Amino acid sequence: MLDIKFVRENPELVKENIKKKFQDDKLVLVDEVLQLDLENREIKKELQALQADKNCIAKEIGKLMGQGKKDEAEEAKQKVAQFAGRLDELAAREKVVEEDLRKRMMIIPNIIDPSVPIGKDDSENVEVERFGEPVVPDFEVPYHTEIMERLNGIDLDAAGRVAGNGFYYLMGDVARLHSAVLSYARDFMIGRGFTYCVPPFMIRSAVVDGVMSFAEMDAMMYKIEGEDLYLIGTSEHSMIGKFINTINPEEELPYTLTSYSPCFRKEKGAHGIEERGVYRIHQFEKQEMIVVCKPEDSPAWFDKLWQNTVDFFRTLDIPVRTLECCSGDLADLKIKSVDVEAWSPRQKKYFEVGSCSNLGDAQARRLGIRVKSKDGRKYLAHTLNNTCVAPPRMLIAFLENNLQADGSVRIPEALRPYLGGQAVIEAK
C-alpha cells in the first residue's frame, strides 16, 4: 500500500505506474482516492475546530453558573449539545470515508522499481543469467511420476480417493529424499547466517490483509470455517506477520530468518491440476527465507536472496537460470521480483522452482512494521522473501537431472549425509 501523501503529491506518477502494469481499470482509483483524502482532511479540520469551540464554551458554562447567569449558561449548554451532535455526525462520516479510502489504497499497486522490464504477462519476463550447463541425456527421461513409480515412491490413486486431485502420497526412498532435501535446505540457510524458525501454520485475517492483495488471497488461501484463521499458502506470510505492530531498534536490523512449513493453496484457476503429477498441488512443504531491513539495504539483500537459491540448486547439480519478472507479472505489493527456474531434461526447457521478491515498505505499512533509529526517528522497514526450495515440485528437477540410464537416481555429494551416506536410489 502506498503512502497517501505520496499519492496526493504524485498522482500522475501513480497513474503511469498503473499503466505500466497494464491495469488501466484501476486508473479511476487514483482520482477517487484524492477526493476521499480531501474530504477526510476537511472532516478532521472541522472536527478539530468544533472540539476546540465545544471545549471553550464548556469552560464558560461554569463561569456563567458561578456568576448566577443561569439563562446564559443554559444557552451555552444548548450550543454544546449542538456541537456534540455535529461531532458525532462527523465522526461517523470520518469512519466511512477512511474505510473507503483504505479499500481503494489497498488495491492501487506498489510503485515498481525502474529496472523492471515492461511487459503484459509472464511470457514477457526476461532471462538474466544461466548457472550450470543444461544437459539432455542420450536416453529417454520419463514423466516425473513415472520415475517416482519406478522407485515405488508415489501413490496418486490412493491420495485421490482420500483427498481428491492435487494431493499425493510420497513413499519409501522418494519420501526420504523429500525430507532430506528440506533438512539440507535448513542447514544450508543456517550456514548462510539465517535464523531457523518454525512458524504458525495458520494466520489471522489482519495478517493476510497485510501481506498480500485480495486477488492473491482469493486465489490461494483456505479459510478455517467459523474462525478468523487461514491456512498459510507460504511461510513468508506467517514470518512477516511475526513483526506486526512492532517498533524495531535500527541497530538490530536486518532480521534474517529461514523457515520450514507446510503450505496449502487452492490453486484457483490453475490449469492441469487434474494431471498426474506434483507440479501444481494443494499441499506441499517449503524452506523459505525472509528479510526485514532498512530501506537502503533492500536492493543488496534482494540480490543475496536469489543467489542463495541458485547456489543451493547448483550444489545438487541442477542447472538453473534467473528470470526478471516484467511489470505485468508482478503482484501488486512487489516492487521487483526474480524467478529461479530449474532445467528439465525431459521438457528441454526451464520451469519455476522459486521466486524472490522485494516488497519495499508495502507490507510494513499495512502491518505497522516500523524501525526506530538511535536519534528516535521512526520509519517503515522494507521486507523481502525468497524460496530456498519447495519440494515436491523441486523433486521433478532433482530426479530428471540426476536420473541414470538404468533408472536409478544419483545422489549428489551434498545430500548424501542426509540419506545415511546413500549414493544412489535404485529402481525397484
Whether 355 is catalytic is yes
Q: Give the C-alpha separation, 168 to 181, whole Å.
A: 18
Cis before 391? omega within 30: no
Print the SS3 string covering the chain. CCCHHHHHHCHHHHHHHHHHCCCHHHHHHHHHHHHHHHHHHHHHHHHHHHHHHHHHHHHHHHHHHHCCCHHHHHHHHHHHHHHHHHHHHHHHHHHHHHHHHHHHHHHCCCCCCCCCCCCCCHHHCEEEEEECCCCCCCCCCCCHHHHHHHCCCEEHHHHHHHCCCCCCEECHHHHHHHHHHHHHHHHHHHHCCCEEECCCCEECHHHHHHHCCHHHHHHHCEECCCCCCEECCCHHHHHHHCCCCEEEEHHHCCEEEEEEEEEECCCCCCCCCCCCCCCCCCEEEEEEEEEEECHHHHHHHHHHHHHHHHHHHHHCCCCEEEEECCHHHCCCCCCEEEEEEEEECCCCEEEEEEEEEECCCHHHHHHCEEEECCCCCEEECEEEEEEEECCCHHHHHHHHHHECCCCCEECCHHHHHHHCCCCEECCC
Pairing of strands 283-293, 255-264: antiparallel
Whether 280 is catalytic is yes
Q: Give the C-alpha separation, 25 to 163, whole Å.
A: 39
Whether 275 is catalytic is no
Whether 352 is catalytic is yes
Active-site hit among 259, 298, 355, 357? 355
Active-site hit among 149, 321, 393, 400? 393
Active-site hit among 265, 321, 365, 366? 265
Active-site hit among 8, 176, 204, 280? 280
In b/e form, how buried is each residue of 112-151, taking b as 16+ CB within 10 angstroms? bbeebeebeeeeebeeeeebbebeeeeeebbebbbbbbbb
- Tell me the catalytic residues: 265, 280, 352, 355, 393
